[in-house]
Amino acid sequence: MTKDTILVVEDEEKILRLLELELVYEGYEVGKANDGLKGFELYQNRKWDLILLDVMLPGISGIELLRRIRSQDVHTPVILLTAKSSVEDKVSGLDLGANDYITKPFQIEELLARIRVALRLKPAIEPVEDLAVLHIADLSVNEKTRMVMRGDNQLELTPREFDLLVYLLKNKQQVLSREQIIEAVWGYDYYGDTNVVDVYIRYIRKKVDLPHVNPLIHTVRGVGYVLREGK
């Protein structure tokens, strides 16, 4: 039987270690991070059945991490770990899509019960696949929210740049001619110069690939462009 996976993001080492021990004892597979940026990295690296998320984190806050998670995934249950007096954090978290919260200090038995409830409810709302989020390497694009992330950085794209990047992502690994890109992104009735593709590729390269050491948009001389990892 496959174990449920739980990602714990908590900066207090004693609490993080306690949660890890208790969850492993209960039969869960556990991933852990002690800051928000590391938590987001672990979230992107694999699929989790549930996330335990402290609100007060170094790097980026738990609320910001929750916002980034929900921009890509509205289904994975998230339980917030909050300070007793942080009413605003609780409200913000619930508004952003947290499923539940528990205040510190908490009884481990109560937390385990809340986890069991959240996991029981999850299959009823989880789709087979979320087709709105497109990925390659550390680049992700959410078509619904139009959020573009490269690693930990949110990118601001114009509507045309966004449409071009989505088309490249939907056809990743495929070499696309300028004519194909014009038809898909600008439309069949576009009669301008195909050099506009080169201009917009340059625009999105400056945002998506620089200063990253792993460029994703590649030129195929005499043909067009391709989105892929490696050369």
- The reply to whether 133-227 shares the fold of 5-125 is no
Main-chain dihedrals φ then ψ at residue 225, nearest 5 degrees = -135, 160
Instruction: Find, among 63, 71, 48, 57, the residue nearest to 2 by Cα.
Output: 48
Query: In the chain, what are the domain boundaries?
Result: 5-125, 133-227
Superfamily of domain 5-125: Response regulator (3.40.50.2300)
CATH code at 133-227: 1.10.10.10
Residues 6+ apart with CB under 8 A from 105: none
Digit-coded pLDDT (tens) for 68-101: 888 878 789 999 998 766 677 677 778 888 888 8
Tracing tokens 């908490």 back to the chain, one arrives at 106
Phi, psi of 161 (to 5 degrees): -60, -40
Contact 50, 33 (CB under 8 A): no
- pLDDT band of residue 129 (cuts 50, 70, 90) is very low
The string of pLDDT tens digits covering residues 96-107 is 888 888 988 899
